[in-house]
């Protein structure tokens, strides 16, 4: 896709291990300069240093994700030397602030977020703007003299910063940071926005095709919505998806995923393909591996006590968790759906996603070395497997079939993270 694009892809801190330099793929470069109404604007692209743990491991073999600030500094200085008078960083790394009405007020910001440290590590007046992302949160702050903006996720909002530039010197003489603006179809700043007819004509066949797939009924009626929630506690949605994962692989004992993969609620009413797609928009594939009962217990124990992001509770199927504090020790007992206790030395066939099996979100790290990761027949896409299971199941579903006061898969003594004293 990068080679096909009419614009460059920017990757300043994605390092090719074989050269020790930024990747040199077709149409991929660390930075570039564009001319905007006579103003040379330098653009730098970077991604979080946690990228390796945030994506499928097989996709980043041979790559290292270097610290952002040195990479930005290197490229920004080169851009300035090449005549750029405005430098903008586009970062797939972000922050989190709850108050957005005063750019100078940083009290509501999470100071530990990656982009905060990056901004403070940059030389003064080298960078004019950081357009952040990744955390799905919002920012409209000035940090160390650099405007940082971030506008949530899923296209719901956009960011805006206005610069006044002295044309003779190229110096930015004023800036104004706006709060994230909600997207309102057809209007902006109270003015009507007219769609471009040529663009609409190009898009129309693809939109029609997508809508046909999106509205396909699955033969399931949801008597209640299945909310995503904050994924800090068990949800019927998570249980539903992992039940589908487990049922899709013959001979599997248990299944688990990562809470961050579930992105939307399932609305009540007739269930469509599009609704499931919005819940799980990734093309991750189902994989299998072998764990001992002890390894699975370590994974679960870590998830219960984890304090470092991501902290979402794991979606699980095929077993339940009973955790209790015994003094300062957390005792975790896992029980199969059949009622049999999972022994420490017992070997289990696990179903998960290729993202999790490849090290994503650090879910598997507590297990240590695991068995070979293998693909079920056909190497099915996780979402499509769940869709097929739902079609076969049909009928009516509601939240209480999966989670209720007397029907839970997770039992633990206090809100997570569990700290036994």
- Where are the domain boundaries for CATH 3.60.21.10 in the chain? 9-187
Res 185: pLDDT: 79
Nearest Cα residue to 11 out of 330, 373, 25: 25
| CATH 3.40.50.150 corresponds to the domain 9-187 | no
- CA distances from residue 119 to 40, 91, 143, 172 in whole angstroms, order as listed: 22, 11, 6, 18
Element holding 207 (H helix, E strand): helix 197-214
- Where are the domain boundaries for CATH 3.90.780.10 in the chain? 218-411
**The pLDDT of residue 143 is above 90:** yes
Q: What percent of the chain shows pLDDT beyond 70? A: 100
Rg (CA), the chain: 24
Is residue 128 a contact partner of residue 85, using CB atoms and an 8 Å limit?
no
Res 313: pLDDT: 98
Res 9: pLDDT: 98
**The pLDDT of residue 186 is above 90:** no
Nearest Cα residue to 45 out of 95, 107, 98, 89: 89
**The pLDDT of residue 170 is above 90:** no
DSSP 8-state assignment for residue 264: S
Res 221: pLDDT: 99
**The pLDDT of residue 151 is above 90:** yes
DSSP 8-state assignment for residue 285: B
Which pLDDT band holds residue 22 (cuts at 50, 70, 90)? very high
Res 223: pLDDT: 98
DSSP β-ladder status, 129-131 and 9-10: unpaired
CA distance 15 to 65: 6
Res 189: pLDDT: 85
For the beta carbon of residue 394, count every other beta carbon within 10 angstroms.
12
- CA distances from residue 247 to 232, 293, 353, 382, 385 in whole angstroms, order as listed: 25, 20, 14, 11, 9
| CATH 2.60.260.20 corresponds to the domain 218-411 | no
């Amino acid at each position: 896709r990068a080679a096909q694009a009419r614009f460059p892809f920017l990757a300043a801190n994605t390092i090719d291990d074989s050269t020790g330099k930024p990747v040199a793929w077709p149409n991929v470069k660390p930075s570039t300069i564009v001319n905007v109404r006579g103003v040379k604007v330098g653009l730098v692209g970077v991604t979080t240093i946690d990228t390796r743990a945030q994506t499928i491991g097989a996709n980043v073999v041979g790559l290292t994700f270097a610290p952002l600030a040195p990479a930005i500094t290197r490229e920004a200085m080169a851009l300035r030397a090449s005549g750029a008078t405005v430098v903008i960083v586009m970062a797939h790394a972000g922050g989190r602030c709850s108050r957005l009405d005063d750019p100078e007020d940083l009290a509501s910001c999470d100071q530990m977020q990656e982009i905060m440290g990056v901004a403070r590590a940059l030389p003064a007046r080298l960078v004019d703007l950081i357009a952040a992302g990744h955390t799905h949160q919002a920012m409209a702050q000035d940090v160390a003299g650099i405007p940082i903006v971030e506008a949530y996720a899923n296209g719901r909002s956009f960011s805006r910063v206005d610069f006044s530039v002295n044309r003779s010197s190229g110096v930015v003489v004023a800036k104004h940071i706006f709060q994230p603006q909600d997207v309102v179809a057809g209007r902006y700043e109270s003015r009507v926005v007219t769609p471009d007819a040529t663009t609409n004509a190009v898009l129309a066949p693809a939109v029609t095709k997508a809508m046909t797939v999106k509205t396909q009924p699955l033969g399931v009626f949801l008597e209640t919505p299945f909310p995503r929630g904050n994924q800090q506690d068990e949800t019927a949605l998570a249980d539903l998806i992992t039940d589908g994962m487990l049922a899709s692989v013959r001979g599997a004992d248990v299944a688990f995923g990562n809470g961050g993969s579930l992105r939307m609620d399932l609305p009540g009413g007739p269930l469509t393909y599009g609704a499931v797609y919005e819940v799980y928009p990734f093309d991750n594939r189902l994989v299998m591996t072998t764990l001992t009962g002890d390894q699975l217990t370590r994974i679960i124990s870590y998830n219960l006590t984890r304090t470092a992001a991501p902290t979402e509770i794991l979606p699980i199927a095929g077993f339940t968790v009973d955790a209790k504090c015994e003094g300062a020790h957390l005792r975790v007992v896992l029980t199969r759906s059949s009622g049999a206790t999972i022994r420490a030395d017992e070997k289990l066939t696990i179903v998960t996603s290729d993202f999790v099996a490849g090290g994503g979100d650090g879910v598997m790290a507590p297990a240590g070395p695991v068995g070979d990761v293998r693909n079920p027949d056909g190497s099915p896409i996780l979402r499509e497997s769940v869709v097929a299971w739902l079609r076969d199941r049909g009928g009516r579903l509601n939240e209480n079939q999966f989670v209720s006061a007397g029907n839970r898969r997770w039992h633990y003594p206090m809100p997570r993270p569990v700290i036994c004293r």
